[in-house]
Amino acid sequence: MKAALLYGVGDLRVEEVPRPVAGPGEVVIEVRGSGVCPSDIRSFTGAGSSKAPWTPGHEVAGTIVETGPEVDAPWDVAARVVLDWRGVCGGCRQCRRGAANFCEAVIKYPIAGFAQYTKMPVTQLRIIPDEVSFEAASFCEPLACVLNAHRAIPIEPAADVLVLGSGPIGLLHTQVALRRGARVIVADRIPERLKVAGQLGAHDVVQVGDDGGLDEIRKLTDGYGPDALIVTVGAPAAIESAFRMAGKNAVVNLFAGTHPKGSVSLDPDVPHYDQVTINGSHDFSPGDFSTALRMLRFGLVDPALLISHRFPLTAVKDAFEMTMSQKGLKSVITPSEASEK
C-alpha cells in the first residue's frame, strides 16, 4: 500500500510499505478521510515528534476491510468506522475521578492515517451512523477536544462568548457555543475565515489588528466585556488580549498550547478584583469522542464549511503546506480512490 512517511523537517514522502495485518481484537481499515491537524504540522516543521520515519495522521474515518481473531459484530467487513487514538485504562486515579483525558496508563495508538490502510483495536472504534459522511466523521477527534473544553466554560443563555481565532477549531467552538445558547462573537485577522464564522451563525465578527479588537469588542458587549473567552490561537499576544477584554466574573479558556513556547504577562488584579477565572483544556475522554459523533449525526455541528481543500494521498505534502500557509481552513486527505464526501 501507499503511505506518507515523515523522515525529518519538511521531508514527507509517499512510499510503498507493507499493508497492516489484523491481530487478535484488531481490524484493518481502508482510510476514507483523514484531516490535517496543527500537531501534524508541528511534526512536519520539527517542533513535534522526533521519531523517523513514521506516518502521521490521527483524524481518521474509514471502512473495515479485514478482521482479526476475536472480533465480533458489529465490527464486520464493510462497517464504517471512526478511530479514537487514545486508549484509556479506566482504572487509574485520573480515570476514576472522571478525568480520563489524563489517564496514567494511556495508550496513544499510532493511527498512521495518511495511508491507504491502517489497523486499530476494535475497542478504539465507533460505528459511523448513516447520516454522517467519512469526512464529517474525521472531525470527531478535534470536536471531542472542543467538547472537553466546554465542560470548563459556564455559559448562561444569551451570554456573550468571544472566540479568538476562526480556524477550524475556532469554528467548532463557535458552533458548540451557539448550540449552548450563547451570543457568539468571533475575532480573527483573516477576513475569509470570519466570513465562514458568519455563515455558521456567529452573531458578530471582528477583524482584529494589533490592538486585538479590544475597543470594538467592548462596544459589542455594551462596555462590559465578554462573559466567556475561548482562545484558540497559540500566541501569547492573543492570550494577553483575552485577559484585557474579559468582563467581570468572566471565564478565559486557553484552548491552544503556545507554539513556539512563550510566556504571558498577567496583572494578578484581573483574576482577583474582576474575579476572572482562567482555565485550560487538554485532549478528550472517550465520552467526549462519542458525544462528538452524536453531535455530527444530529446536525448540531456541521463541519462541511470548514473543509476548504481535499487532496489525494500523493499530494499530502501539498496539504501540509496549504495548512501552514493559513490559506483556506481544513485540508482533508482522501487516500482511497473510493473515498466519498
The pLDDT tens digits of the residues spanning 240-294 come to: 999 999 999 999 999 998 888 889 999 999 999 999 999 999 999 999 999 999 9
pLDDT of 212 above 90:
no
pLDDT of 16 above 80:
yes
Output phi, psi for 135, to 5 deg. Answer: -60, -45
Grid coordinates representing 6?
Answer: 515523515
Helix 316-325 / helix 38-45 crossing angle, nearest 10 deg: 100
Instruction: Give the pLDDT confidence of 36-93 residue by residue, as tens digits.
Output: 998 899 889 885 556 789 999 999 999 999 999 999 999 999 999 999 999 999 999 9
Q: Are strands 11-16 and 117-121 parallel, antiparallel or unpaired?
A: unpaired
Q: Which residues in the chain are classed under CATH 3.90.180.10?
A: 2-144+284-334
Answer whether 40's CB lies under 8 Å from 85's CB. no
Q: Which residues in the chain are classed under CATH 3.40.50.720?
A: 153-280
Give the span between the Cα atoms of 150 and 168, in whole angstroms.
16
Grid coordinates representing 81?
Answer: 468506522
Q: Chain-centre distance of CA 6, in angstroms?
A: 21
Give 320's contacts (C-beta < 8 A, 6+ positions apart): 12, 36, 40, 41, 44, 331
Q: Hey, which residues does 119 pair with through a beta bridge? A: 28
Give the span between the Cα atoms of 201 and 268, in whole angstroms.
35
Give me the architecture of the 153-280 domain, per CATH.
Answer: 3-Layer(aba) Sandwich (3.40)
Cα dist from 231 to 101, 153, 163, 171, whole Å: 20, 12, 6, 12
CATH number of 2-144+284-334: 3.90.180.10
3-class DSSP state of 230: strand
3-class DSSP state of 277: strand
> What band does 121 get if pLDDT is binned at 50, 70 and 90?
very high
